[in-house]
Structure 1
Amino acid sequence: MNKVSVFGGGAWGRALAFALAEKNEVRIISRRDIGPLLEPLNQSLVALNCAPIMQVSHKEALDAQYFVMAIATSALREWLAVAHLPQEIKILCASKGIESGSGAFVSDIMEERIAHKSIAYLCGPSFASEVVHSLPCALVIHSRNLELSREFGTLMPHFIKTYVSPDVVGGEVAGAYKNVIAIAGGICDGLAFGMNAKASLLARGLVEMSRFGEHFGAKMETFLGLSGAGDLFLTSNSTMSRNYRVGLGLAQGKAINEILKELGEVAEGVITAKAITEIGQRENIYTPIAREINLIINGKNVRESSKALMA
């Protein structure tokens, strides 16, 4: 049985640990004690005759064949600097977003420390709350090393179907940008603009994110598949999406700090909206939805922003 260590004890990290525990011995690392949160997952695993997930120290976690990264993009660079990961490593990165300030993609940050042939990136429509109930989903494992993508695919449970893709940039742009469009989706529904407006928003959002990605060499087919359209439609239409809930709060006139405090979790789209806006200005890429979401987050009236988009 393979040993897999998951870095990150948030909802997505725990969900991936649960999924991988069907076929593997899984350990999870978190800065806080997540024992009570693991208990119901381990009860389900025992019922399935699978070994329970163990929370271990960082040192113990390094004794594994495979690693999964599920920590916030905003903390990724700092974490990698002190992680002391082994030279020979196989790592699946499930972090999404664009670094604020630098505008660095996740792969830029990861590949400063780890060879690209050793890294794969997990993308696609996947709410953590459904994964921990073993509900079926399909995901894409992006990597410049397709053999590594297929290898990680073999570790996945029966209820997750995986595809592989060499388009790393497309996968991570889609995974980051959809969070911004999800905030817009929450605003649209919060203002009761109707289904016509929502369909228009998501269609134009898909065009906007693909235009942004293609500027950096991404492939259009990525945005039409699970990593793009699939994840976009999921996160823009459900209160299970943290970014969608941010949009609902903004539509109610709440300040972003109040919304994030109520949320109690990271909403990557808030930081990503700013990063995309800055990159768009620097690279002369047309990003009207991301720009307006960034303005709303910083205090612009939501109805004024909707008028600007219609104009």
Structure 2
Amino acid sequence: MKPGVPVCVLGAGAWGTALAVHAACRGDTVLWARDAELLAQMRRRGENTRYLPGIELPQGLRFEESTVAALRHAAGQGLVVLAVPVAALRELARSLRDCWARGDAQAPAALLILAKGFEQGSAALPHQVVAQELQGLARAPAVGMLSGPSFAQEVARGLPVALVAAGAPALTRCAVRALHGAAMRVYASDDLAGVAVGGAVKNVLAIACGVSDGLQQGANARAALITRGLAEMARLGHALGARQETFMGLSGMGDLVLTCTGELSRNRRVGLQLAAGKDLQAVVRDLGHVAEGVYTARTVLELARSQGLQMPITEQVCALLERRTDAAGALEALLAREPRTESESPESGDAS
């Protein structure tokens, strides 16, 4: 049965396109992109050859280059999905606010963010960026995030995936109604801070795991990095108001394991290439996609330090990205740390 929630996906990168493919198989869905040439190519070929090659787009999926027309599709009781990187999120949110404030389109019931990371400069999480831009809007939609262990290619192919929609009840109800079904399970959470922090920090830790794998340090080392990385993630999340149990769920441990071990992980690929001695700028250029961990690492470390927390894995990732050490030096620095008890309290800032 069709869920009856019109969906508007803003952003036709790999993840935005994949979610639009899933949503279009369940209900009326529009995919928007700023790049008119990309949209024309998708209409013509029935495939997003730039970001999601090999995936046939559903015939029911519609494409729209007009922001106003796309937003009108989800006006009232619909769901708008923001599928752009963190760096582009504020500008897009501002354009939506202006559109709704002018009355060009009615605001939707819910606004769901896919971006994972912290905004450079402000250190704001994605939902905070959007909330700041929507302040003062007479009828603002409920704002939340969708996260969890998910590679776009697998979602687009209809393979099983479990995600978590985080936000107020109105947001999670709308997201679950629009997206839960077929091979996708969508769980609800009210710990927006926890889900956002998990999605941001796991990308940094995936770079560390890629470095370890690139140096052929073995499965034991990878497991240690994931486990101690999870401790770093939870430590920062606790300081920013998140609940500890969130980090044992899909947006914490689940996404961390996938991003640190999966062959499709862009951030892990960055680590692998850095371990091989390649230049960071060349690695990022050759990816063709955004690897958020590269841009998030410094912000994560500065936030930790402002809270009096130790995040040694993140610290070494920053040193490597900023060319203050090489891959072997980063590994040596981690191994040289003094021994500690495993279960330090988050307040102590003493673990890892």
Interval containing the TM-score (normalised by the shorter chain): over 0.9
Aligned partner of 2:92 among 79, 88, 102? 79
SS at match of 1:291: helix
Distance 1:191 1:43 in 2: 37
| 8 Å contact kept, 1:27–1:56 | no
**98-107 vs 31-40, greater mean Cα deviation:** 31-40
**198-207 vs 1-10, greater mean Cα deviation:** 1-10
Distance 1:109 1:294 in 2: 24
Distance 1:15 1:221 in 2: 29
Distance 2:95 2:174 in 1: 27
Aligned to 1:67: 80
Aligned to 1:152: 175
| 8 Å contact kept, 1:15–1:131 | yes
Distance 1:73 1:187 in 2: 24
Aligned partner of 1:34 among 31, 38, 42? 38
**259-268 vs 71-80, greater mean Cα deviation:** 71-80
Question: Deviation of residue 79 (structure 1)?
Answer: 2.4
The two structures, once aligned, show a CA RMSD in angstroms of 1.7
| 8 Å contact kept, 2:18–2:155 | yes
> 1:135-154 CA distances to partner (integer Å, 9 max, x unpaired)?
011100000x1232022111
Aligned to 1:52: 61
Distance 1:79 1:14 in 2: 17
| 8 Å contact kept, 1:100–1:272 | yes
Gaps of 5+ in 2: 49-54, 102-106, 337-352
Read off the aligned partner of 2:83 and give its amino acid letter. A
SS at match of 2:298: helix
Question: Deviation of residue 298 (structure 1)?
Answer: 1.0
> 1:274-308 CA distances to partner (integer Å, 9 max, x unpaired)?
11111122221211111110110111211111111
Distance 2:141 2:95 in 1: 21
The answer as to 2:120 corresponding to 1:100 is yes
Distance 2:277 2:304 in 1: 27
TM-score, reference length from structure 2: 0.83
> 1:93-147 CA distances to partner (integer Å, 9 max, x unpaired)?
111100112211112211112378711210100100001100011100000x123
| 8 Å contact kept, 2:10–2:84 | yes
Structure 1 residues 117 and 86: CA distance shift in structure 2, 3 A: closer
The answer as to 2:317 corresponding to 1:310 is no
SS at match of 1:236: helix
Read off the aligned partner of 1:103 and give its amino acid letter. A
Work out the percentage of aligned pairs sharing the same amino acid: 37
The runs of 4+ residues in structure 1 deviating greater than 4 Å are 41-44
| 8 Å contact kept, 2:111–2:141 | no
Distance 2:99 2:8 in 1: 12
Distance 2:209 2:16 in 1: 25
Read off the aligned partner of 2:69 and give its amino acid letter. E
Distance 1:2 1:34 in 2: 26
Distance 2:153 2:100 in 1: 32
| 8 Å contact kept, 1:18–1:53 | no
TM-score, reference length from structure 1: 0.93
| 8 Å contact kept, 1:17–1:53 | no
| 8 Å contact kept, 1:174–1:223 | yes
Read off the aligned partner of 1:139 and give its amino acid letter. L
Gaps of 5+ in 1: none
Distance 1:250 1:53 in 2: 40
Aligned partner of 1:282 among 306, 326, 332? 306
Aligned partner of 2:232 among 208, 223, 227? 208
Aligned to 2:7: 4
